[in-house]
């Protein structure tokens, strides 16, 4: 058993090549699978978002604070708010980030390898 304390997790900036706008993370735990994975808290400043991406084992997002949006290739983006849980199936291309007018914090469970794709456009 492992216990991760959010108060012990220091924020670090995310790779700017995979995000538009300021985004930071606090690593909580690495999961020794299968599938391998991680649990992190991600803070998106207002308007910041990921690029298109997919995870070989899927991804689960739980919105803690603020408001955001999430989108998939086959559909429009949808608003997400505290208490919402988003499941991206293995290999499903998606993106997520903060609303244009306010930041968002999410608890992120990612499984398998991430493949980063092109940036999301404003459209």
* In-domain check, residue 6: no
The CA distance from 100 to 48, in Å, is: 8
What's this model's pTM, rounded to 2 decimal places?
Answer: 0.92
Name the CA radius of gyration of the chain, rounded. 14
* In-domain check, residue 35: yes
* In-domain check, residue 5: no
* In-domain check, residue 100: yes
Q: Residue 78 is encoded by which pair of tokens?
A: 């949808």
- What CATH number does the domain containing 77 carry? 2.60.120.10
* In-domain check, residue 9: no
The CA distance from 123 to 110, in Å, is: 26
Please list the residues that pair with 61 across neighbouring strands: 86, 108
Are 105 and 22 in contact by the 8 Å Cβ rule? The answer is no
* In-domain check, residue 2: no
Domain count, the chain: 1
Q: What is the pLDDT of residue 76?
A: 85
Query: Running along the chain, 123 residues long, what does each successive block of 10 average in pLDDT?
Result: 89 92 94 90 98 97 98 92 98 97 98 96 79
Are 96 and 106 in contact by the 8 Å Cβ rule? The answer is yes
Q: What is the pLDDT of residue 34?
A: 83
* In-domain check, residue 76: yes
Q: What is the pLDDT of residue 35?
A: 83
Query: Dihedral, CA atoms, 59, 63, 98, 7, nearest 10 degrees?
Result: -100
- From 111, 113, 116, select the one nearest 38 (Cα to Cα): 111
Q: What is the pLDDT of residue 42?
A: 98
Task: Give the residue numbers spanning the domain of 69.
Answer: 19-114
SS3 assignment, position 17: helix
Q: Beta 12-13 vs 23-31: how paired, if at all?
A: antiparallel
* In-domain check, residue 78: yes
Whose structure tokens read 């999961």? 31
């Amino acid at each position: 058993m492992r216990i991760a304390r959010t108060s012990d997790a220091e924020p670090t900036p995310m790779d700017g090549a995979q995000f538009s706008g300021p985004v930071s993370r606090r690593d909580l735990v690495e999961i020794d699978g299968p599938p391998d994975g991680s649990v992190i808290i991600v803070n998106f400043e207002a308007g910041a978002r990921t690029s298109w991406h997919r995870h070989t084992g899927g991804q689960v997002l739980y919105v803690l604070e603020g408001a955001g949006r999430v989108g998939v290739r086959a559909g429009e983006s949808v608003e997400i708010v505290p208490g919402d849980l988003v499941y991206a199936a293995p290999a499903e291309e998606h993106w997520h980030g903060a609303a244009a007018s306010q930041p968002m914090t999410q608890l992120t469970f990612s499984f398998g390898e991430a493949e980063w794709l092109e940036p999301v456009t404003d459209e």
